[in-house]
Structure formats: structure tokens, C-alpha cells
Structure 1
Amino acid sequence: MSKIPLPRVVKRPLVAVWNASHRLGWLARDYASAIAHGRIEPCSVCGKTRPMLYRRRVIPNRLVELWGLSPGQAVALARKESSDCSACGAKLRARRLAEVLLNLYPTGARSLRDWTRSAVARDLRIAEINRIDGLHEALKGLPGFQPSDFTPGASPGSVVDGVRCENFTRLTYPDAYFDLVLTSETLEHVPDLATALAECRRVLAPGGRHVFTAPVSPNVSKTFPRARLGPDGSVEHLAPSISHPGGDWGYPVFTELGTDFPDILRQAGFETEIRFGPISDDDLAQVYVCRKP
């Protein structure tokens, strides 16, 4: 018996309903899992006590395969890239960044949203190099907050669709300009790590901090280049190619960060500490605090 094709006017809404039902099913399972495992806690971004939604599916199996992650490491990476606050959506790495900021610049606030109302926060000059979902929404009302994104082909310092464009290896900000630079899962995608760290140090005022997360692999003892950018802008691979978030699709990884990464940060002239560390197979969501002396 042959199948009768559905008219497009009927098929499209049916597909939309089918996809929506799957999303609702996943969400229901995420909530049930959070409640069953006691993952209900205050969010350091919004301040609300809500279920934190862990989603293993955010880490593709192809990335696990290419990166050589163990099953436990894959779970830890998924925890870092999900564990979303069911109120504001901030994932674990954003919530940990917020927790560190509350500790570094204390005001008595218990959430980043409350912290942004303080004089301490409003006096800070803050650069966000590439949007950090969760933190961006909380910080965007601060007078000293200057977000930027990398846009291929755009001139550094230009504005595209209302967003300032910056290249981490050629920042257009003045020397000693910021009190705080924020990044998350960015440094591994910069073609020249040493230059990016030097630029970050240049734009920080004395005593200023770069607070960030980065994907450091516990399986790699020594940081090494995976790729480099050619004079014509092409990517030359020096090791098997890996991209985030898909493994073989997404943003190319130029530098594989190993457990010696804190030493590289110190050699770049920063006083460096690791929060939520040390890195382990069970926890890959460290926050790095680099202070310019």
C-alpha cells in the first residue's frame, strides 16, 4: 500500500507540533531528574531557588570521540555546559562566574542581579569579550559594561547590528582601561593565545582582573597548538581538527589547553588562581582569576 503524501499546508504544522511535543518531553524529564537527584539550589545569577536542569545531550558523541573523553568526563562536561537554572537559564559555568564575582567584589548581595544595583558594581569598567549567556543579561544595565563579539570580516572597533566587534588579538581599547575582563570558552578559539593574553593584560588597569572559564582537558598535560591561521586567513591544522560544540562542526580549536595552563597564565604576567579546582574527571567547570599586578 503506497503512502499518501500530506499537503505542505498540513505537514508543516504537524512537524511543528511533533517537535514541540519532543521538547516538552525532554523538559519534563529534565525537571524530574533534577528533583529526583536533589539538584534544587539558589542561582548565583538571578537569586531564585530552582531546579538546575542537567542535559547530557548538549555534548555530542562526536566531540566525546574526537576529544578522547571518558564517560565520566563527558558527564562532567555536560554538567558544565548545562545545569541550567530553570528560572533564568544560566548554565553552570555562568553561575560559577557569577559566584566568583560576588566573592571578588563583595557587597552583601547574594545574586549577580542584586549585585549590579550596588555602587561597587556600577563603578567598575567591565569588558565582556564575546557574549556570555546568563551573565550578559544580568550585567548589560551597568554603566561601565562594554560587551563585544568577534565578527569575521568586521573591522575591530566597528559596530555591526548594534554590537561592537573586537578581535582578541587586536583589541581597540586604550591601555589600562578596564577593571574587569570577562570571557567564557573563548581563549581556545583565538588563533594566537600569547597575543590574546598580552592584549588582555594591556587593557586591564593595575589590579584589574580577567575572570573566565576555558576548556582544559585533564588528559592533556602540556598545552599545544591544534591549528594556526595562515596569511590568507585559511586555517592550517597542526593536529587532528576539533571544533566546538560539535566535534567536527562549530568554531575551530586553535589551542588545546592542558593542565599546565595556569603556568602559561603566570608566564603571561598574571597572578593566577583557580576557583572550584583543581580540575578532575568529575569537575571541568573551573573559573580562572588572573590579576594584573
Structure 2
Amino acid sequence: MAATPLDECGEFARFQHLGGSPRESYRCSKCSSSIRERGLAQTVVDLYGEGRSCAKQLALSPRFASLAIYGPGFNGTIRRHVGDLPNYRYSHYRAEAIPGTRIDGVGNEDLQRLTFRSESFDLVLTSDILEHVRRPHEAFAEIKRVLKVGGRHVFTVPVHYPMRERTEYRVDTSSDVDMPLRPAVYHGDGRAGSHLSTPTSAGT
């Protein structure tokens, strides 16, 4: 257990590992952020902070507030600080709904086929999203397309220890029909229930 000023909320807080994956543990006693969420917040602060020490302070910066930010499926704790900024947008994905439509006030977007115009955003934030995308290389290409020149994509992907010696493909997505190669892996999707993690298990 340790007490230290936090990258996300700026408070002095205590962290204690209570079991499970370390990156999802050591939650802040003030804002409940995990190591993964604090890592994302620290990266954003390092890139845009201009001397500010946490995401809470960064959100008060007029320059940062002017950025067009997109957070697909983004339910991390940093959204508490950036979610009310005037140019912040977020979305969920429902396969049965038409991309670009709104469901319960939230946009529906497929990262492999975004409906936004090219060069729409200064910053895209994804936190443990890309492992759920059927063809992640297409998602990366789409994110690049909607980023403005000089824009940034800050993201996290799951890491399991010990690291595998090589990446294992769990699903063959080369055709229109998924062909399972290994047993399916699920974890919570941050909204409801569990969500399939596909198509790879990353290695070194």
C-alpha cells in the first residue's frame, strides 16, 4: 500500500492490490481508477498537460478543452474529467443497429467503419477496446483516417503475464464467417454482461 498524488484526480490516495489482474487493481481510494486507467490518464497529461499534473487539472485547460476528442466505448474513470468538454464525443457499438444512429442518446459506431468525416478529431482514446474488434487493423486505419494531421490515438490493450512467446490467433476472420481456432475468451465490457475478446492473444 502506498500514498502518492494521483495522475488522474490529483488527490493523495492509497492503493492496495486486492487480487486479480494488477492492471485492473490498485484502485485509487479517492476516484477508484485502476492502474490501467491511471496509465492512460498519465499519457494524456504528459502529451497535453503543459505543466499540469493530473487529468482533473488538464480538463480546465482552455487549449485542451478546445480539442475534438473521441472516446469510443469509453467508460474509464478519465471520462469524469473530459466527458463534459464541449468537443468530446463518445459512442457504443451495437451490431444490430445502423452505424451513425443514436440509441438512448448515444451514437452507434463500428470502429472498422466509422461514420465521421476524415480529419474530425485531435485525440482518440480507446481503453481495452481493440481486442473486441473483429479486424483490428481496419479499426486502426479508420482511427487514422478520422484523426486530424498531428492528431493522436492513445490506447490500452490487455496484457497478461507471463507473456506468451508469440501471438496466438484465436479466430480466423479472413472470410465473412468467423472460424474459431481456439476457445473463446470473454471479459466484462464495461456496460452489461460479458463481451467476446477476439481475435488474438498477444505475445512478445
- Give the one of 197, 201, 204 matched to 1:253: 197
Cα deviation, 1:236-274, whole Å, max 9, x if unaligned, reads 31222211249xx822121224345xxxxxxxxxxxxxx
- Cα distance, 1:53–1:166 mapped onto 2, change above 3 Å: farther
**TM-score normalised by the chain length of structure 1:** 0.63
Structure ranking higher on relative contact order (CA contacts 8 Å, 6+ apart): 1
8 Å CA contact 2:74, 2:125 repeated in 1? no
- Cα distance, 1:245–1:228 mapped onto 2, change above 3 Å: farther
8 Å CA contact 1:184, 1:214 repeated in 2? yes
> Which residue does 2:4 correspond to in 1?
41
- Give the one of 211, 221, 227 matched to 2:171: 227
* 1:266-285 superposed matches below 5 A: none
**% identical aligned pairs:** 32
Give me the whole-angstrom Cα distance separating, in 1, the residues matched to 2:199 and 2:81.
30
Deviation (angstroms), 1:202 = 0.7
Give me the whole-angstrom Cα distance separating, in 2, the residues matched to 1:257 and 1:124.
34
> Which residue does 1:125 correspond to in 2?
68
- Give the one of 38, 50, 73 matched to 1:95: 38
Deviation (angstroms), 1:145 = 0.7
Cα deviation, 1:196-237, whole Å, max 9, x if unaligned, reads 1111111111111110110144533443431256747xx531
* 1:203-218 superposed matches below 5 A: 203-217=146-160
Cα deviation, 1:171-200, whole Å, max 9, x if unaligned, reads 111111111110011111100111111111
Structure showing the higher strand proportion among its residues: 2
8 Å CA contact 2:131, 2:157 repeated in 1? yes
Give 5+ residue unaligned stretches, structure 2.
none
- Cα distance, 1:221–1:199 mapped onto 2, change above 3 Å: farther
- Cα distance, 1:129–1:255 mapped onto 2, change above 3 Å: same
Deviation (angstroms), 1:115 = 0.6
Give 5+ residue unaligned stretches, structure 1.
1-36, 60-77, 261-293
8 Å CA contact 1:150, 1:166 repeated in 2? yes
Cα deviation, 1:130-177, whole Å, max 9, x if unaligned, reads 123201111111111111111231211111112111111111111111
- Give the one of 242, 266, 280 matched to 2:185: 242
> Which residue does 1:54 correspond to in 2?
17
Give me the whole-angstrom Cα distance separating, in 2, the residues matched to 1:256 and 1:216.
12
8 Å CA contact 2:76, 2:127 repeated in 1? no
> Which residue does 1:7 correspond to in 2?
none
* 1:139-158 superposed matches below 5 A: 139-158=82-101
- 2:148 aligned with 1:185: no
Give me the whole-angstrom Cα distance separating, in 2, the residues matched to 1:111 and 1:219.
30
8 Å CA contact 1:107, 1:118 repeated in 2? no
Q: Which amino acid aligns with 1:251?
A: H
> Which residue does 2:142 correspond to in 1?
199
Give me the whole-angstrom Cα distance separating, in 2, the residues matched to 1:82 and 1:95.
11
Give me the whole-angstrom Cα distance separating, in 1, the residues matched to 2:37 and 2:121.
20
How many residue pairs get matched? 199
